[in-house]
Amino acid sequence: MGPDLFRFILERVGLLVGCLSLLVGGSFQLVSPRVGSPLAGLIGAADAKLRDKAKAMGASAVVKVRYMPTGASMMSWGGLKAEGVAIRYN
């Protein structure tokens, strides 16, 4: 979705509340045994945190979410960076 179309949708549907960005650290505890993929567990955790953060800002939804993996380091198994846009419906 291009920026012009996104702006058009926001003007018709909702109000831009703010941009969100967070990091979810890699941990074996975040992996759901039902899903079976560590990345899927991190995405689920990131989604929940984005929704909570948006709700605290007074938003109704998070759109334009994107995920970027972070590398492993001495202190972490790696993780996931999640970014999105919080909007409130009119």
pLDDT score recorded for residue 45: 87
Strand (E) or helix (H) holding 56:
helix 38-56
For the whole model, what pTM was predicted?
0.69
Full set of structural domains in the chain with CATH:
3-89 (3.30.110.70)
How many residues can be counted in the chain? Answer: 90
pLDDT score recorded for residue 75: 59
Q: Is 7 helix (H, G, I), strand (E, B) or coil?
A: helix
Q: What is the Cα–Cα distance from 9 to 68, expressed in whole angstroms?
A: 25
pLDDT score recorded for residue 30: 41
Dihedral-angle region of residue 64 (phi above 0 means left; psi in -120 to 50 means alpha; beta otherwise): left
Residue 90 has pLDDT above 90, yes or no: no
pLDDT in tens, 2-59: 667 667 766 666 677 888 898 887 654 444 445 556 667 788 889 999 999 999 999 9
